[in-house]
Structure 1
């Protein structure tokens, strides 16, 4: 039996999945590593912590299946947390800790990027300047740590650093490069105009490669350390959201991903590189060659329900909290919730806005509030679906993963609010599976990623929109869309009173 490994390098831990040719998970291992918050808003990690954790996870997988089976591992690929900055010296060593995607120190640099590039920013990079992206971090280091920046000759993203340490080769795939604000997304090349505007040499950027492209083989000493064969092929991999899309089979027009974790993501496949969303949603290169995806983000999706449970039912399970939720009709008895607990991203990039319950009256019970929270999260995600459709995209099938896919009532609610067929997965492995699929495709197991998905991605129950609920939610959604504008100034005034 042949195997591939998908490595998902997350913010808190790395997870390695061993997958066979049937798409079955034959083993998994994970290792955690610390986060460093030296100042408010800072979020950093030590790049070599990722490497050590990855090698330990690989060693555990190999030991679990034994040397004979380990010799049948053909390929390794990666999914990685996006945007994080790793600056390398000429000798290939990090000059400082990595600055992560959730670091917020770079507001001034974002404004500088906007002033310098103006309308060219969206025209080239297809994304607005946000604190999480990589270019603002580069500018911050140059301005605030000139001695460290003087040593830097190249930058990498997190998974690319791990892959470099495993192979000795430095590359970056298009899907991860799209989140740097340095890539001409449509042309699939580093933007000479952006680099020149900020006086960065072309040599500062690594060579670009497709996500399924082979970038080397495992270094001999690391093969010996982990118990993997030195012949194992190592492939570029992709950004976590791109790999999550691959792992959910989002590989053709009309297919959209709904992922509800702490935050929520609506991600839709796109084959038109010129599709213009005016920066209201993210537009990135896909892990599939010459494809793209549009993506909207709800900052407090699953977190909103977790907050509600912690605050009003701390000693109950989610099943107990939501018992009877299906008996409450759409609209929760005229109660609306906006999930702005920590601000919002799409379509309102606003750090000051906060959540609201609108329409509370004496007839409402806890179950109405719980239903309103679920509906509000889904309405927020639907804002992205609504924008996709307004831009001419087809959204008719949505694959739902994460916490929102664990509750049948919520899955039906998604189908009704999105007015689309919603599909759950039998065995949800997320970005790690997508990384393994890139290794399987790169290793020649399948003629295309679509053929790989047909084997590896297994659909479970489907939920179709119910016409009466669809109509009710259409009206409620238009009311929901008014709440942001009508509470914005109130929340700005209240910000001074927040502790």
Structure 2
């Protein structure tokens, strides 16, 4: 009787959904499930109920495993949004709301964090922290929950909470989630001198391991709820951006992945640490001693859900495809931008005069495409290697018109894998528990790679739209003058 092929479970806790994929060694998806999540936004604040994350993961995982021979499951890994944190007690139970990846309330705390930790942040190449990063938000939480003793509270990242529920006890975090919490990636330690200066006890900080490290096994309770066999290995995961990068097969030096979901995340692979004086770009550690430079915008496809909540998007897309290119909407989900430039006062604006819903929709798609072009111009200016393959992932790849528009504006051929979910990246990472490298796993499991080549007929008009977009950002004082000088 032939040996049963192992299956791998990847879980991704996003902003709007929790997703689960069951994938075999060749990258074929044999099971998938999702469950909705809701947020509360108010000005710079963006919160979720962390208890809902596990409920959604349970629903998504049970759906993914329905009809699957779960006894073949080899391991699982969890991805979640980068910089989303909460406080938990020593048993791992939530004791605060969850401050989401783009929550920007910690403005004053950021100034203190930047001052106290300046030497460390310079060494790590990003110089500045942002209010949306985890460390300023941890300081905000520790200062605004006076009823909770700091000595009994622990920092918990979104992925940590879910991983702990699978295993049944608190777990170490991973280096990709720890980066925005101030972890010293060059020296593999929490910089005690920084946390002492901030008044954050080191007891609040979790242990840190590399992604792919075995953390434990699925316990009886989690197995009964999710359908994952008891005893299934659980390995440390990554942030959603890093997970999508793996899922896209973006593992070779010079390759880049653009993830367009609720927000736009750009990630690449470098043979060296890329330093950004403006503090918009940061680097994770990658496999095989590589670095993963990247950044996340506050703009993205999430604006479509807000602006066109009840609209027929297929109909709007068909109409947009017939319209002349011209107006541009720069859509932000909340005030402030973090990448490819830092501007706390940035807000949505419109160039031109779109009249109908289809006009506005087309202008929104073009605005995000312009921002994406600016992201790549920024990383190129910083000296990051750009010679490798470019892939698109994220929910926006389902819109063929938008995907082609983005390729046209970038002027580059792009590759789109059959499966574009960060959950695939976690299935790939889980499969490394069987002994193969990340590169070997990605080569075997990333499938499809259809191509979109730029249309030269639209190059001139798109260059002008992009130049107008840069001029508008510069006029508002948001864009670094050195970047603004890079004209198409």
TM-score scaled by length of structure 2: 0.84
- Displacement of 1:308 in angstroms is 6.5
Change (3 A) 1:483 1:440: same
> What is the aligned partner in structure 2 of residue 277 from structure 1?
276
Displacement of 1:482 after TM fit?
1.4
After superposition, where does 1:13-32 map in structure 2 within 5 Å? Answer: 13-32=17-36
Task: Output one character per residue of 1:190-241: Cα deviation in whole Å (capped at 9) or x when no partner.
Answer: 2233223223344432222111111111224443554433331110011111
- Paired position in structure 2 for 1:223: 223
Separation in structure 1 between the aligned mates of residue 308 and residue 164 of structure 2, nearest angstrom: 43
C-alpha change, 1:128 and 1:465, in structure 2 (3 Å) is same
Q: Which residue number corresponds to residue 477 of structure 1?
A: 466
How far off its partner does 1:178 sit? 0.9
Shift of 1:440: 0.9
| 1:377 has 2:374 as partner | no
Q: Indicate which of 315, 323, 328 corresponds to 2:318.
A: 323
SS at match of 1:87: strand
Secondary structure in structure 2 of the residue aligned to 1:129: coil
Aligned partners of 1:221, 1:471: CA distance in 2, in Å? 60
| Whole-angstrom CA distance in 1 between matches of 2:333 and 2:13 | 27
| Structure 1 pair 322–190 and aligned structure 2 pair: CA distance change class (3 A) | same
Q: Contact (CA 8 Å) 1:125, 1:185: kept in 2 or not? A: no
Residue 449 of structure 1, CA deviation: 1.6
Shift of 1:245: 0.9
Check the 8 A contact 1:414/1:422 in 2, yes or no.
Answer: no
1:63-74 alignment, distance < 5 Å: 64-65=67-68, 69-74=69-74
For residues 309 and 40 of structure 1, what CA distance do their matches in structure 2 show?
20
Correspondence for 1:348: 341
TM-score (norm 1): 0.83
CA contact (8 A) 2:59 2:226 kept: yes
- Per the alignment, in what secondary structure is the counterpart of residue 101 of structure 2? coil
On the 8 A contact 2:82/2:101 being kept in 1, the answer is yes
Does the CA-based 8 Å contact 1:353-1:488 persist in structure 2? no
The 1:458/1:62 distance shift into structure 2, 3 A limit, reads closer
Classify 1:16/1:405 alpha carbon distance in 2 versus 1 (closer, same or farther; 3 Å): closer
Q: Relative to 1, partners in 2 of residues 1:146 and 1:281: Cα closer, same or farther, differing over 3 Å?
A: same
Change (3 A) 1:112 1:348: same
C-alpha distance in structure 1 between counterparts of 2:348 and 2:127, whole Å:
26
- Any residues of structure 2 matched to 1:415-426 within 5 Å, and which? 415-426=407-418
**Helix, strand or coil: the match of 2:377?**
helix
Measured at CA, do residues 234 and 150 of structure 1 come closer, stay the same or move farther in structure 2, by a change above 3 Å? same
**Structure 2 runs not aligned, ≥5 long:** 479-488
Q: CA shift at 1:286, angstroms? A: 4.7
| Structure-to-structure mapping, 1:401-416, within 5 angstroms | 401-416=393-408
Give the Å deviation of 1:120. Answer: 4.5
Deviates more, 1:400-409 or 1:238-247: 400-409
Q: Distance in 2 between matches of 1:382 and 1:9?
A: 27
Whether 2:461 is the aligned partner of 1:458: answer no
Structure 1 range deviating more: 233-242 or 45-54: 45-54
Please say which of residues 73-82 and 18-27 is displaced more in the overlay: 18-27
Going from structure 1 to structure 2, the CA distance change for 1:487 and 1:425 (only over 3 Å counts) comes to same
Alpha-carbon shift at residue 242 of structure 1 (Å)? 0.7
Could you tell me whether the CA contact under 8 Å between 1:90 and 1:151 is conserved in 2?
no
Unaligned runs of 5+ in 1: 490-499
Would the aligned equivalents of 2:84 and 2:158 in 1 still touch at CA under 8 Å? yes
Within 2, Cα distance between the matches of 1:122 and 1:155?
24
Cross-structure match for 1:293: 292
CA distance in 2: counterparts of 1:340 and 1:57, whole angstroms: 29
**Aligned residue among 4, 9, 18 for 2:8:** 4
Partner of 1:114: 114
Cα separation, partners in 2 of 1:482 and 1:33, compared to 1, 3 Å = closer
- Radius of gyration: which is bigger? 1
Distance 1:486 1:252, change over 3 A: same
Superposed CA offset, 1:28-50 (max 9, x none): 2334455467x765444444443
Q: CA deviation at 1:177?
A: 0.7
Structure-2 change in CA distance of 1:125 and 1:217 (3 Å): farther
1:51 partnered with 2:54: yes
Between 1:243-252 and 1:6-15, the stretch displaced more is 6-15
Label 1:25 to 1:427 Cα distance change in 2 as closer, same or farther (>3 A): same
Q: How far off is 1:117 after superposition?
A: 3.3
- CA distance 1:29–1:410, shift in 2 (3 Å): closer
Alignment CA distance shift 1:92-1:403 (3 Å): closer
Question: Structure 1 107/25 Cα, relative in aligned 2: closer, same or farther at 3 Å?
Answer: same
Q: CA separation in 2, counterparts of 1:385 and 1:14?
A: 29
Which residue, 397, 400, 406 being the options, matches 2:392?
Answer: 400
Q: Secondary structure at the match of 1:159?
A: helix
User: Alpha-carbon deviation of 1:176?
Assistant: 0.8
Contact 1:342/1:351, CA 8 A, preserved across alignment: no
For 1:120 and 1:472, the matched residues in 2 are separated by: 44
Root-mean-square deviation over aligned CA pairs: 3.2
